[in-house]
Structure 1
Amino acid sequence: MTKGNLGVVSDDLKQAVLIVGYGDVGARVARLLRSTRSVYALIRNPARAAAVASDGAVAVIGDLDDAESLAEIVGRTSAVFHAVLHFAPPAMGATDDVRTKNLIAVLYRSTNHRVRHLVYISTTGVYGDCGGRWVDESTPLNPESDRARRRVDAETCLAAWAQDEQAALTILRAPGIYAADRLPIDRIHAHTPAIRAVEDSWSNHIHAEDLARACVRALDLQIAHPADFAQPMIVNIVDDSVLKMGDYFDLVADHFGMPRPPRLTRREAESQVSPAMLSFMRESRRIRNNKMKTSLGYQLRYPTVGGFLAELPSR
């Protein structure tokens, strides 16, 4: 894929962008885009509008769980939206992603100006348990939790929409997201156990800022080279860390001078760890990021968890 110079802001790059799922990563993306694009953010609570404005975005009120509330998106989509950045997680419950289906219904209803670009943050959980083996984008999907099955459903629905609309779609599969305020400090304080090294699962990580910047890079690439997106582009967005889950907890504990979590056998942990955490502990895989560095052309700002922690003051 020829990438060329993405530093020049063209008229296309100044088109309006809608961020759907306005959490930490969404806010970071808004701040990265505000100087080159008109940024809008879908939020449920009007009280958040001021915070959205401080990030350089305009609030659009609507709820992905309530299809009737999304009428404002239809009007704005018909007028201005050129791209959608979809970061909203699926609702808990079923194995399909109703939120993504509601969003797609809105996009189909656009008439005057169709959305041409969409970037979606999915999860590396769609690969399931790989027994610690290395995984890349060609690895068959094997979702083992309802959480992962919902993500596969979202990916499938978005791919169908992109094909119907001849729109560019990039799916970024992300692992556990960390940042200075997204470290397992409370878990370590609570002495929640980890699994002993010989039985432990491999984990994968990405800093929130790297994920946000990768999203912007994905959008820039779509706009600069639309002919390269006849098919969806799927990219794993992970850092260079090679850590088992317990080693990650130890790394954070050591940096902040906290006692390391106790280690248990996997069987012992099953009676002491929450079902949600156990679902993560059961899956072990190591994710390759070659495609992120080559096809997407993204270079990590925080290549490893350890390198990031070294920049933080200890408490």
Structure 2
Amino acid sequence: MQRLAIFRPMGALPARFRRARLLIVGCGDVGLRVVRALRSEVVGAQRGATPQAGAPRLRVLALTSSPQRVAELRAQGITPLLGNLDAPATLRRLAGLATHVLHLAPPPAAGAAAACWSDPRTEALVRVLRLRTPPRALVYASTSGVYGDCAGAWVRETRPLAPATARAQRRANAERAVRHLGRAGVRTSILRIPGIYAPDRAGGTPEARLRKGTPALAPQDDVFTNHIHADDLARACLAALWRGRPQRAYHVCDLQPMKMGDYFDLAADLYGLPRPPRLARSAAQEQLPPLLLSFMSESRRLDNRRLRHELRLRLRYPTVAEGLRAR
């Protein structure tokens, strides 16, 4: 049976003498894309290219609560660390371990033991990171849902938060915990992320929904939505780790806000499938489940100038059409 590596905390070493270590918390699809993007940048630098995110070579570690994922992570060149965000006592080994942290783990789902309006996972992670020498930087993957409904208006990162669902409130509370860590001297960045898609991501396209014939809203009732290709999100995570300004929020989205129904129509045309039927909002409220309706109840267009100018990220898929075609 393989044994996981056990690291001695590095809190006794000044940060400037510590080898760069990236800890990924919540290393699912996006986390693995981050590792692949990082590996690609290292290869590019060896060939004389300028790295997009400016990241140095570093060791990558990932927290996992599943022993079954150990072999998968190791195969990707990642050092796995067993621990569970829902069991804070298992996280103590993380103290002083990493110079950079990428926090991709979601809050607990509604109905979990913790209060439905808070995120005890992020709170537990922040507490343990403060025990010894804190990391130099932490990037937290939040959601654009923290703004609530904006009636289709253009939204910048300075807009006050107004989460309208328990799911979004948990994210807003997690952002506050991250900012609290930032006040302790850690360079924290918050990525507010809309719908993530990618043809090679499980459930990463609307094809299954289109095949079911799930309705969309009629044009007069439709809402604006925003999207980001999973590969561009991974590159944005790296850019924020190395270039993000302290206590800064960034919209990670492409250049094409779309009405939700138009997005489904575009995908249907690309896949050669029938476009979804359209319903008035009143009819949708009678026929569609509450969770689906919640995504049809908020309309906003995200301004991503900080992403492009401050993080200097050049999107590979600036529109949904380009991203969906990249099979």
- TM-score (ref. length: structure 1): 0.88
RMSD between superposed Cα atoms in Å: 1.6
Alignment partners' CA distance in 2, 1:311 and 1:117:
32
Say which of 213, 218, 222 aligns to 1:196. 218
Structure 1 residue 123, shift from structure 2 partner:
0.7
Is the Cα contact below 8 Å between 1:13 and 1:220 reproduced in 2?
A: no
Alignment partners' CA distance in 2, 1:118 and 1:55:
22
Letter in 1 for 2:221: E
Is the Cα contact below 8 Å between 1:242 and 1:286 reproduced in 2?
A: yes
Within 5 Å, give how 1:222-301 maps onto structure 2: 222=244, 229=246, 232-301=247-316
CA shift in 2, pair 1:220/1:277, >3 Å: same
Structure 1 residue 54, shift from structure 2 partner:
2.1
Alignment-derived partner of residue 177 in structure 1: 196
Runs of 4+ displaced beyond 4 Å: 11-14
Alignment-derived partner of residue 88 in structure 2: 67
Q: Deviations over 1:14-60 (max 9, x none)?
A: 50110001111111112223552100011110111111112221111
Say which of 170, 179, 182 aligns to 1:162. 182
Alignment partners' CA distance in 2, 1:129 and 1:245:
14
Structure 1 residue 220, shift from structure 2 partner:
1.7
SS at match of 2:287: coil
Alignment partners' CA distance in 1, 2:239 and 2:94:
24
- TM-score (ref. length: structure 2): 0.85
CA shift in 2, pair 1:174/1:266, >3 Å: same
In structure 2, list runs of 5 or more residues that go unmatched.
1-15, 43-56, 111-115
| Aligned residue pairs, count | 288
Structure 1 residue 81, shift from structure 2 partner:
1.0
Identical amino acids, percent of aligned pairs: 44
Structure 1 residue 184, shift from structure 2 partner:
1.4
Letter in 2 for 1:100: T
In structure 1, list runs of 5 or more residues that go unmatched.
1-10, 223-227
2:61 is aligned with 1:40:
yes
Alignment partners' CA distance in 1, 2:91 and 2:124:
8
Q: Deviations over 1:115-150 (max 9, x none)?
A: 121011111111110001111111111110111111
Alignment-derived partner of residue 114 in structure 1: 134
Alignment partners' CA distance in 2, 1:146 and 1:55:
35
Is the Cα contact below 8 Å between 1:200 and 1:245 reproduced in 2?
A: yes
SS at match of 2:81: strand
Say which of 26, 37, 48 aligns to 1:21. 26
